[in-house]
Amino acid sequence: MSDLIGPDLARIEGPAKLTGNARYAAEIPIKGLAYAALVQSTIAAGRIRSVDARQALAAAGVIAVMTHENAPRLDRTAESPQITMFPLLQDDRVLFNGQHVALVIAESFEQATHAATLLAIDYERQPAIAVMPDRPDAASQETPKDFRNGERPPDSDRGDAPAALGTAAVTVDAVYTTPVEHHNPMEPHATIAAWDGDALILYNATQAVSSNQQALAKMFGLPPAKVRVISSYVGGGFGCKGATWPHIPLAAMAARMVGRPVKLVLTRRNMFTSNGYRPRTVQRVALGAAQDGKLQAILHEGVTQNSAYGEFAEPVGLASEMLYSCPNVHVTHRLTKVNAGLPTYMRAPGEASGVYALECAMDELAYALQMDPVALRLANHADRDEHQDLPWSSKSLRQCYEQGAAAFGWDKRSPKPGLQRDGALLIGMGMATATYPTNRSKAGALARLLANGQVVVQCGSQEIGGGTYTIMAQTAADTLGLPIARVRAELGDSTMPPAPVSGGSQTTASIQPAVQAACRALLAKAIDLAAQDPASPLAGAAPDSVTAGDGRLFLRSDPGRGVSFQDLLRRAGRSTLDARADSDPGDIKKRYSMHAFGAQFAEVAVDPDLGEIRLRRYTGVFAAGRILNAKTARSQMIGGIVYGMGMALLEHSEVDPRTGRITNASLADYLVPVHADVPPIDIHFVPEQDDIVNPLGAKGIGELPMVGVAAAIANAVYHATGKRIRDLPLTVDKLLA
């Protein structure tokens, strides 16, 4: 491979975004467009007795009002992990406050929004549980029926953890909680739906172009070829745009009802009730160790908030099964139902919440042992995945600890809490481990050589902000020996070869091998075309004797003997040459455990009088296989750490326990980090060669950097103050209590 893979390269779509030429789902110009506005329930549980739409229908510009009484019927058997069927105006049930109960379609957004306030809905209220208890009792807990989509059981045991805990020399046993959090990407959900006969086209803000197509085809009883989903740019998702949420088919239903294209853009308040959230968790973590710090027992029991319909289990205990060497491990996952919408994946699902609890418990154990927290983790380094009894495909976690400690200046940390000061401020240093599984799914790609010597590569993936356009172009240019300026990457269209959801940090690991394979297949076709041409300088050449560079094919032994791509097609009388390929991970996960790792280091300053916590500096060191673009990778790491800052210090969706209404459903009240909150963030990568995870050796990095951030900050706050806060976020009231 050439020098196109690895170095800092600017995003190729950057100019389009900076100049406003990058069109997002809500910005597509469509003739005859109508606008829709959601009407959402104001009760937490019950039934709709009646809907009086007369005033709304009489309002200026109103075209139609869609309710459960007149909405098109859908195939309710289509539900799957990527299809959230309820609520879709299919019956009169109300299961949470903010549930969609009607849709108003009008000539303008303003008219639809106004008319939505005019609907008179009469409810039959029923008892509801609006918030998850602080400590759910056993009677309220359920075992997940379809944990991890049925791929594994919700509970696991290695050895006898309860017995080992009872005989351990040093123990820690505590409960940690994380609150409901919402994704809040800059771009809200938006869908434009249009019908052409029995064919449906959607412009949609989604992390899952191919999955949206399949889901909508099932719902509407159509062949997949009759559904086209387009999503050229996505303004952030963080997980909430990964499923086919109800607003998407509702827009299509409305378009069919009124016989014209319909645009539905969710308001910020809608975003808190329409497309999932990180569920509240209550986690008991108990650790037992010998005096030398060697772990003897790990117990991790997680209870997760679930909805009154469907099932979503936050897999909080998965990292505890494999992160540290320990002979006795007990992990359980339970659910407790609440009258709220269905939770979903949020950046680093499972690991973000679960590693927070585990790594805070490890910090508590280090203090109980009077042992350095880094040394404790090194002492319990797992040289293989003891849960699956498999070797790692690669693992450089030791180097992450060592390089991170050196870069951060960990040796300057006082062993005892509350001793370091900067004037009146208390200074604390904390650290934690980061880990996230290396996932990969089947994906396809197409490579097309054009008559002008340029190449187009296509994949039905999506650009959600991570730099997928750029990495696709890099991979293609590198494989074909072209300057990157002569490659055009195209994605975000379900007519292109299918790709998986951009979730689970799998996009690069899944689609880049497919792009590489398609380009290799295209190169083989081009070489064969040249070899079959009697008048070509490469006539009769063996395939392995020819290579590509600078837009031409030439003999390895005689670079002067060759033909340009343009001349190749001209001589063959062709305008294009295409090749398509698929990439499939196969059964590699049955033979290796594949994860990315990292070490997180945080320094905080705490005002002892006001309880204000400020993050002063941060260091993250990560081992994630081959880094394909250092610039975009560094950006991903910084973004993930900032995301983790929000989890640690700010984010918490407040729910009124009487009504189930989210009371801070706006960016004025739901706090996320802004520039003034973010300190210098120092990012390092440990070089890592991994020929097992995929042909490019790249591991996913989208979610890795936020794992462990909340724990590192919480541990730093304890080091500064001597006060252990086990409930996120770390707010002033908890510190001063």
Dihedral of alpha carbons 193, 463, 277, 312, sign = positive
Pairing of strands 595-606, 546-549: unpaired
DSSP for 344-390, written as a single string: ---SSTTHHHHHHHHHHHHHHHHHHHT--HHHHHHHTB-SSBTTTTB
SS3 598: strand
Rounded Cα distance between 57 and 65, Å, is: 7
Q: Which of 77, 85, 76 is nearest to 310 (CA)?
A: 85
Backbone angle region of 292, left / alpha / beta, with phi > 0 → left and psi within -120 to 50 → alpha: alpha
Largest Cα span, the chain: 86
> To 5 degrees, how large is the angle CA 237–CA 238–CA 240?
65
> According to DSSP H, which parts of 534-590 are helical?
565-572
Strand-by-strand arrangement of the 487-491 sheet: 487-491, 455-459, 443-450, 576-583
Instruction: Please state at what angle helix 351-369 crosses helix 709-721, rounded to 10 degrees.
Output: 30
3-state secondary structure of 267: coil
Residues facing 194 on adjacent strands? 201
Amino acid residing at 11? R
Contacts of 18 (CB under 8 A, 6+ apart): none
Cα dihedral 346/350/356/360 (nearest 10): 170
Q: Report how far residue 154's alpha carbon sits from residue 143's, in angstroms, rounded to the nearest whole number.
A: 7
Residues carrying an active site annotation:
703
Give me 680's structure tokens. Answer: 């210098």
> Are the C-beta atoms of residues 179 and 251 closer than 8 Å to each other?
no
Residue with tokens 């045991």: 157
Cis check for the bond before 729: say yes or no (omega within 30 of 0). yes
**Whether 667 contacts 268, CB under 8 Å:** yes
Task: Report d(CA 244, CA 60) in Å as an integer.
Answer: 32
- CA pair distance 551, 562, nearest whole angstrom: 11
∠ CA 116-119-120, rounded to 5°? 155
Q: Report the chain's terminal Cα–Cα distance, integer Å.
A: 58
- At 266 the three-state DSSP class reads coil
Judged on CB neighbours under 10 Å (0-12, 13-18, 19+), 21 is: exposed
CA dist 404 and 397 (Å) reads: 10
State both tokens at 61: 């510009």
CA distance linking residue 524 with residue 16, whole number of Å:
33
Task: Describe the crossing of helices 507-532 and 565-572 by its angle, rounded to 10 degrees.
Answer: 60
Q: Where are the beta strands (DSSP E) in 20-126?
A: 34-40, 46-52, 62-67, 93-94, 100-106, 120-125
DSSP summary character for residue 540: T
DSSP 535-553: TSTTTT--GGGEEEETTEE
- Residues near 61 by Cβ (< 8 Å), separated by ≥ 6? 106, 107, 108, 111, 112, 115
- Give Cα 151 to chain centroid, integer Å: 19
What is the pairing mode between strands 576-583 and 595-606? unpaired
Backbone angles phi, psi at 676, to 5 degrees: -65, -20
What angle, 0 to 180 degrees and rounded to 10, lies between the N-to-C axes of helices 630-649 and 709-721?
50
